Amino acid sequence: MSLRCAHTPMASCLPAFGRHRGYPPRYGWLRKVYDALLRDPTALRRPDATLLLGVGKSMVPSMGFWSQAFGLAIRDGQGLMPTERAHWLLDEKAGADPYLELDATLWLLHWWLVSAEHCHVPTWRYLFGHSPLSRSSRAELQGRLAAAAEAAGHKTPAPSVLASDIACLVTMYAPGDRTAPNIEDELSNPFRILHL
C-alpha cells in the first residue's frame, strides 16, 4: 500500500466502497430517514425499522448510508441526527423542497454527494470529478478506481465491491433499458432525470 497523497482523487474520501449495499437512493428515502431521525436518532437500528420505513431489511442500512453521503445525517453517540442541511431542505413547513420535487434539488444533492469534504462515495467522486474519460468500459473504470484507491492510501477494494459500486452508480443515473423497461426501476430512481 502506498502512502496517502493529499492530491489524489480519493484523498478526502472515506474508504467506503459498497456501503450502499447495491441500492441507489430511491424516491422518498431521504425524507423517510429525516422524519424517522427527528423522532428517534436510533430509528435505523430499531428491530421495527423495516416497518417504520416501509422497506426491506437490507434497504435500511442503505437508507442511512445515503442520508450520510448526501450530508443530511451525521453520526452522534446514539445514532444518526439530521444536519442543518437536512432541516433546510426537508423540513415539512420551512424546507426548500421537502419532497424533492424540483430537478434543481436533485442537481444540488448530486453536487453535495460528489463534492463533500469527507466524501462517502469515492467511486462517484472519481467518475464525476477526476476520470479523464468521457466513456469507458466497466472493466476499465474498475481498474482506474483500484489504482486511485491505492494512490489515496486506501486498501484496494475487492473487484466484486468495485463492480457493485459501478453497477449501483449506473443504476442510479443511467436511463433504463428502453427495450425491456422495468417500470419500478424507472419510477424509483430519481437521479435518472439528470441524464448523466
Q: Is residue 153, in this structure, part of any structural domain at all? A: yes
Residue 167 lies in a domain: yes
Q: Which three cell numbers stand for residue 194?
A: 439528470
What average pLDDT does this structure show over 36-52?
Answer: 96
Residue 3 pLDDT > 60, yes or no? no
Looking at the domain assignment, is residue 17 inside a domain? no
Q: pLDDT per residue over 123-169, tens digit each?
A: 999 888 887 777 888 899 999 999 988 888 888 889 999 999 999 99
On the question of pLDDT at 180 being above 60, the answer is no
93 neighbors 62 (Cβ within 8 angstroms): no
**CB of 146 within 8 A of CB of 162?**
yes
Whether 22 has a pLDDT exceeding 70, the answer reads yes
| pTM to 2 decimal places | 0.89
Residue 11 located in a structural domain? no
Residue 159 lies in a domain: yes
Q: Is the pLDDT of residue 172 over 80?
A: yes
Is 121 within a domain?
yes
pLDDT at 84: 98
How many helices (H) and strands (E) in the chain? 9, 2
Q: Please tell me the predicted confidence (pLDDT) of residue 179.
A: 54
12 falls within a domain: no
Using DSSP's 3-state secondary structure scheme, residue 191 falls into helix
Cα distance between residue 118 and residue 97, in whole Å? 24
Domain with 50 in it: 29-194
State the chain's mean pLDDT as an integer. Answer: 88
**Total of domains in the chain:** 1
- Position 7 in a domain: no
Question: Considering only 4-13, 113-122, 138-147, which range has the smallest mean pLDDT?
Answer: 4-13
Grid cell for residue 90? 426537508
